[in-house]
Amino acid sequence: MTIVSPSFYALTAVFLLLYYVLPGRLQWAVLLAASVSFFCFAGVPYTIVYLALSALVTWYAANKIGEAKEKEAEGKGEAKRWLLLALFVNLGLLAALKYANFLLTNAGAVYGAVSGTAVQWRVNWPAALGISYYTLQLTAYLADCYWGICKPQKHFGRLALFSSFFPQMVSGPISKYDELGKALETEHRFDAENLREGLLRIVVGVFKKIALADNLAFLIPHFLHADVAGTAPFPLLAMLCFVVQVYADFSGCMDIISGVALLFGIRMTKNFDAPFTSRSIQEFWQRWHITLGRFLKEYVMYPLLRTKTWAKMGKGLKKSFGKSAAKKIPTYVAMLILWFFMGLWHGGGWNYILEGVWFWLVIVSGDLLTPLFKKINAGFDTEAAWFVLFQRVRTLLIYAVGAVLFYFPSVTDGLAALKEIFSPFFFAAPEKISAQITGFTELSGTVITVGQLAGMGFAFVLFLINAHLERKHGGLAARIAHWPVSMQVLLSAVLLYILIFIGAYGPGYNAAEFVYGGF
């Protein structure tokens, strides 16, 4: 079961009916039952034990932290021990289930290099559905309880629901307890406006996923095919298509998730804010996967900067290099750790880590060169339309470099692709480019129809309209929610019609493969 499958919407409809028919005090139990059902149908059923263990340890430790905090000074050490124990269990499960093979592969490579004997160490431990998301969510909850930001939840069932709320199990967002937990505990009455907007969000999200993202995913490998790759612009086109695919796929998934949650009267934390209108890569990451960036800043970077180690680092640098170095270098080191974990969170692979380091390098370089950029830009109107466009295109290309590293599991392949993408293809012999275009035309004719290309064009136009409306109006679904019902029904029917006839339903198609669904 996936969140774009008919069975998912059938399950949602059944529990939605129960949600509003049964007494309000039972709504949380209905959502918990829906979450357990979805987990068992969508993932490996027995791995729910890992989720239950994490929720149980978190619930018990948080309450012990709360009790220790009431003891004032003498309870600080006890509270810290419970925090560390719970973090060890939760993060240990995440490391064992998600990163064991990465660690074993690298250990095997080192052993082979030293001993001269090739080894291949691997384990086959299925990870729980959404483990990367719920582990960080529970980690944030534990830290907030320890810092006194929120009170521990006494009811285990309610905390279990916060851990496993079914719409967000596939791709997040990573919510805080005071955002989602309270909303899950509140009784909700049926609201026709929520129903209408929620359904529209689902339709828009499914359309972005299937009509655009999946068709691009189907097409991109052929841009990279040996018969059409080389010095012609196909690798560059593949890179730009992948950027659109990732955004359409992930934001489409968020639309579906927020739409389903809204059916139950719950508004999810915002995870995107028109990222491709950003004028710098730092601003981009403040608008892209917002909840992951927020988690890493609030629970990794800022706590590091407050430690005694970082304070000592600053004092030592101040004596040797002055105030500026004492302020910047510790921050840059903490940022490097943040971006290392940002990359590692996406998966056990050096390509992901390199992607994170790339963004760190760009942001730090930009900060160091700010005085120079100010001098260069002094002669320009930095608010002029052409200059804003230049900054947005620059940001897009910087992100696209990271996206290429994300796309290729092998770092070597990713770097080779980047070399090919940014090669001066315009110096190629005309006959070579012509031959490659002909080869691609013949190849693509076997995998995608003219109708699909036209449908993708229409989907892309809607995608751009949605991106334009995202920041000021909350996206296309929120905007058309205010239209007459007849117009909403007509637009939804058009989108569904296009989905049926131009969806990428060819050999090997699998709508379950959300780009961020495996993290």
What digits encode the pLDDT tens for the residues 304-352? 999 999 989 988 888 888 888 888 999 999 999 999 999 999 888 999 9
Which of 190, 220, 239 is at the close of a domain?
Answer: 190
CA pair distance 456, 59, nearest whole angstrom: 47
> How many CA atoms are closer than 13 Å to the CA of 372, on its beta-carbon side?
5
CA pair distance 32, 30, nearest whole angstrom: 5
Model confidence at 211, in pLDDT bands (50, 70, 90)?
Answer: confident
Structural domain including 49 reads 6-190
Examine residue 297 and state whether it is found in any structural domain, yes or no: no
Examine residue 482 and state whether it is found in any structural domain, yes or no: yes
Same domain, 169 and 237: no
Examine residue 375 and state whether it is found in any structural domain, yes or no: no
Same domain, 162 and 196: no
What is the structure's pLDDT at 264? 96
CA pair distance 277, 134, nearest whole angstrom: 30
Query: Each residue of 238-256: pLDDT tens digit?
Result: 888 899 999 989 988 999 9
Q: Flag whether pLDDT at 81 surpasses 60.
A: yes
What is the structure's pLDDT at 92? 95
Model confidence at 445, in pLDDT bands (50, 70, 90)?
Answer: low
What is the structure's pLDDT at 22? 93
Examine residue 280 and state whether it is found in any structural domain, yes or no: no
Greater model confidence, 59 or 492: 59
Same domain, 82 and 213: no
Same domain, 61 and 204: no
Greater model confidence, 318 or 515: 318
Q: Flag whether pLDDT at 127 surpasses 90.
A: no
Examine residue 310 and state whether it is found in any structural domain, yes or no: no
CA pair distance 41, 237, nearest whole angstrom: 38
pTM above 0.95, yes or no: no
Q: Flag whether pLDDT at 383 surpasses 60.
A: yes
Of 192, 105, 274, 130, the closest CA to residue 485 belongs to 192
Examine residue 436 and state whether it is found in any structural domain, yes or no: yes
What is the structure's pLDDT at 85? 96
Residue 387: exposure state from Cβ atoms within 10 A (0-12, 13-18, ≥19):
middle
Same domain, 109 and 168: yes
What is the structure's pLDDT at 465? 77
What is the structure's pLDDT at 324? 85
Give yes or no for a contact between 31 and 161, defined as CB atoms under 8 angstroms apart: yes
Model confidence at 506, in pLDDT bands (50, 70, 90)?
Answer: very low
Angle, in degrees to the nearest 10, between helices 48-69 and 156-164: 130
Model confidence at 512, in pLDDT bands (50, 70, 90)?
Answer: very low
Model confidence at 375, in pLDDT bands (50, 70, 90)?
Answer: confident
φ, ψ for residue 272 (rounded to 5)? -135, 145
Choice among 59-68, 186-195, 467-476 with the minimum mean pLDDT: 467-476
Greater model confidence, 304 or 380: 304
Same domain, 219 and 135: no
Identity of the residue numbered 15: F
Model confidence at 479, in pLDDT bands (50, 70, 90)?
Answer: confident
Choice among 50-59, 184-193, 495-504 with the minimum mean pLDDT: 495-504
Greater model confidence, 259 or 220: 259
Would you mind telling me the total number of residues written for the chain in this entry?
A: 519
Same domain, 177 and 114: yes
Query: Which token pair is 211?
Result: 């009509």
Greater model confidence, 105 or 155: 155
Same domain, 90 and 55: yes
Number of domains in the chain: 2
Same domain, 74 and 183: yes
Of 183, 313, 315, the closest CA to residue 258 belongs to 183
What is the structure's pLDDT at 149? 92
Mean pLDDT (the chain, rounded): 85
Give yes or no for a contact between 198 and 205, defined as CB atoms under 8 angstroms apart: no
Model confidence at 507, in pLDDT bands (50, 70, 90)?
Answer: very low
Q: Percent of the chain beyond pLDDT 70? A: 86
Mean pLDDT, residues 159-187 taken together: 92
Which of 163, 190, 217 is at the close of a domain?
Answer: 190
Mean pLDDT, residues 1-19 taken together: 91
What is the structure's pLDDT at 340? 95
Angle, in degrees to the nearest 10, between helices 156-164 and 27-42: 50
Give yes or no for a contact between 351 and 411, defined as CB atoms under 8 angstroms apart: yes
Which of 157, 190, 223 is at the close of a domain?
Answer: 190
